């Protein structure tokens, strides 16, 4: 059966994975809340990411940096001056579009180095060919730059005449800011990496496609600090490892692909995206892998006045390390995992069942425990005992509501790998029925062997 994103979106809400943000007030575009099963799945993805990128890598360490940063950070990073989307509005229906993206669609490339005037000229010369996605008109306003950083206020930065404070436009800046701290305190030696999962906020002009383009989202980033010019082999290795991790989430390799950036930012050596084939939307970016040279540390060195050179005593060298970066949207990853696992199957009796075929490691609930009958206190008591025991080690759920078939269906929908049923035999011989999510096969197992 063909998967449709609209089904997945309504499933995600119906089964407590993802709710629209501020829903009782009508909902806010680009904001979502992860519900009880959503947060479990999200945390399990994060655990897998952390294990792969920190625990299993001898030369990587973790970090959790503050969201608010000195406003100069965003000047140094180029976000205050340049982190802006060029927008135009349809004069008929006021729909706003990204000028560069619309031009790209008709094969016209807007270079990042263009001045506002040049970009506007290009837009004016070409926009009669671009139809408004909402009303079909081709009547556009001039292109205006729209900064994506989300402003806030904190302390007296603004009163002191500094730039206002911003919420992070990307999570990775905290890593650059702590590079020196980590070198000074953690016995790391180049090449070494730092990993962080952090929130990012962007005034996206048209939040859309569910978790794909939000105004608040999480990024899981790694920055590998390397000797200048020693990028090639490490970069290829990094691409390979990232793709392997995506496959380890249970995603079919044919639904993943690499795409190289055609137009690089001026300081970059190379940039590739990993794309996932989303139901209804098709292939789109889920993670970026960037070869960024010494740009980030050099910028912060200039703006902070602090020497960020790395001193290699043994080799008698001093240099600003280059950076290889991986940057993944956690929400996009969550959506890819959910989309891939979401399955509607025809059963032998002709009925349909919805199953989340998640790898066990990612399943929100690992075991569901049922007493066969709700109205037999001795079964309920025994089942509660089994539930309590398993809960010590795993996320479990207890359910005595409705017939067993319905209870299986509910667990299939949230991807629970095993259901455990306590019946009268359990009271006699200490065995339970364990039913498998994917095969629906049932086996008899001793409680102690669970």
Binding positions for ligand ATP, rule: CB under 6 A: 170, 202, 204, 213-214, 217, 219, 285-288, 327-329, 331-332
| Residue partners of 323: CB distance under 8 A and separation at least 6 | 223, 224, 225, 226, 292, 293, 294, 295, 296, 297
Peptide bond into 191 cis (omega under 30): yes
Report the nearest approach of ligand ATP to the CB of residue 286 (Å).
5
| C-alpha span between 100 and 144 (Å, rounded) | 11
| C-alpha span between 172 and 300 (Å, rounded) | 13
* Nearer CB in complex with ligand ATP: 217/408: 217
Q: Is 129 helix (H, G, I), strand (E, B) or coil?
A: helix
* Nearer CB in complex with ligand ATP: 221/412: 221
* Nearer CB in complex with ligand ATP: 218/294: 218
Contact 287, 263 (CB under 8 A): no
| Residue partners of 41: CB distance under 8 A and separation at least 6 | 17, 334, 337, 338, 358, 362, 363, 364
* Nearer CB in complex with ligand ATP: 15/98: 98
* Of 60, 55, 432, the residue nearest 234 (C-alpha): 60
Residue 415, sorted as left (phi over 0), alpha (psi -120 to 50) or beta, turns out to be: left
Q: Cβ-closest residue to ligand ATP? A: 329
* Nearer CB in complex with ligand ATP: 270/423: 270
Rg (CA), the chain: 26
* Nearer CB in complex with ligand ATP: 213/418: 213
Report the nearest approach of ligand ATP to the CB of residue 273 (Å).
7
* Nearer CB in complex with ligand ATP: 187/240: 240
Report the nearest approach of ligand ATP to the CB of residue 284 (Å).
7
Report the nearest approach of ligand ATP to the CB of residue 202 (Å).
5
* Nearer CB in complex with ligand ATP: 170/361: 170
| Residue entry with tokens 């359910």 | 399
Report the nearest approach of ligand ATP to the CB of residue 344 (Å).
26
Q: What's phi and psi for 216, nearest 5 deg?
A: -130, 130
| C-alpha span between 370 and 421 (Å, rounded) | 5
Handedness of CA 253, 249, 208, 288 (dihedral sign): negative
Report the nearest approach of ligand ATP to the CB of residue 218 (Å).
8
* Nearer CB in complex with ligand ATP: 110/286: 286
Report the nearest approach of ligand ATP to the CB of residue 183 (Å).
25
Hey, how many other C-beta atoms are within 10 angstroms of the C-beta on 43?
14
Task: Quote the tokens at residue 366.
Answer: 């690992």
Report the nearest approach of ligand ATP to the CB of residue 61 (Å).
21
Report the nearest approach of ligand ATP to the CB of residue 182 (Å).
22
Task: Quote the tokens at residue 141.
Answer: 């306003």
Contact 230, 181 (CB under 8 A): no
* Nearer CB in complex with ligand ATP: 246/408: 246
Q: Is 79 helix (H, G, I), strand (E, B) or coil?
A: helix
| C-alpha span between 369 and 382 (Å, rounded) | 10
Report the nearest approach of ligand ATP to the CB of residue 82 (Å).
13
């Amino acid at each position: 059966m063909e998967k449709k994103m609209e089904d997945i979106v309504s499933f995600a809400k119906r089964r407590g994975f993802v709710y629209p943000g501020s829903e009782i007030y009508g909902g806010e575009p680009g904001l979502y809340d992860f519900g009880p099963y959503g947060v479990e799945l999200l945390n399990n993805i994060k655990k897998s990411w952390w294990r792969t990128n920190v625990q299993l890598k001898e030369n990587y360490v973790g970090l959790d940096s503050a969201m608010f940063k000195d406003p100069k950070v965003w000047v140094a990073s180029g976000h205050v001056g340049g982190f802006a989307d060029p927008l135009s509005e349809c004069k008929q229906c006021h729909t706003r579009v990204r000028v560069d993206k619309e031009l790209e669609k008709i094969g016209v490339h807007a270079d990042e180095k263009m001045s506002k005037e040049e970009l506007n000229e290009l837009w004016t010369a070409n926009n009669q060919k671009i139809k408004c996605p909402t009303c079909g008109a081709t009547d556009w306003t001039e292109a205006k730059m729209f900064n994506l950083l989300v402003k806030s206020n904190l302390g007296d930065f603004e009163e002191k005449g500094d730039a206002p404070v911003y919420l992070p436009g990307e999570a990775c800046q905290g890593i650059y800011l702590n590079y020196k701290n980590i070198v000074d305190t953690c016995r790391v030696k180049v090449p070494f990496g730092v990993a962080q999962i952090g929130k990012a906020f962007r005034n996206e002009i048209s939040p859309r496609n569910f978790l794909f383009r939000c105004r608040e989202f999480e990024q899981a980033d790694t920055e590998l600090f390397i000797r200048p010019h020693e990028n090639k082999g490490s970069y290829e290795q990094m691409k390979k490892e990232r793709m392997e991790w995506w496959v380890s989430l249970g995603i079919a390799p044919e639904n993943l692909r690499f795409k190289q950036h055609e137009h690089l930012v001026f300081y970059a050596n190379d940039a590739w995206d990993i794309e996932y084939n989303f139901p209804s939307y098709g292939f789109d970016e889920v993670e970026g892998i960037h070869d960024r040279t010494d740009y980030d540390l050099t910028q912060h060195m200039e703006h902070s006045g602090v020497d960020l050179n790395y001193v290699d005593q043994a080799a008698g060298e001093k240099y600003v390390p280059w950076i290889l970066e991986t940057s993944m949207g956690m929400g996009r990853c969550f959506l890819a995992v959910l989309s891939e696992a979401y399955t509607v199957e025809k059963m032998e009796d002709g009925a349909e069942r919805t199953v989340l075929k998640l790898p066990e490691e990612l399943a929100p609930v690992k075991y569901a425990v049922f007493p066969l009958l709700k109205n037999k206190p001795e079964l309920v008591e025994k089942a509660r005992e089994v539930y309590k025991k398993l809960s010590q080690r795993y996320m479990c759920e207890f359910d005595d509501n409705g017939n067993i078939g319905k209870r299986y269906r509910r667990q299939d929908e949230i991807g629970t790998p095993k259901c455990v049923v306590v019946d009268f035999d359990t009271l006699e011989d200490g065995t339970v029925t364990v039913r498998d999510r994917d095969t629906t096969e049932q086996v008899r197992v001793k409680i102690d062997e669970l």
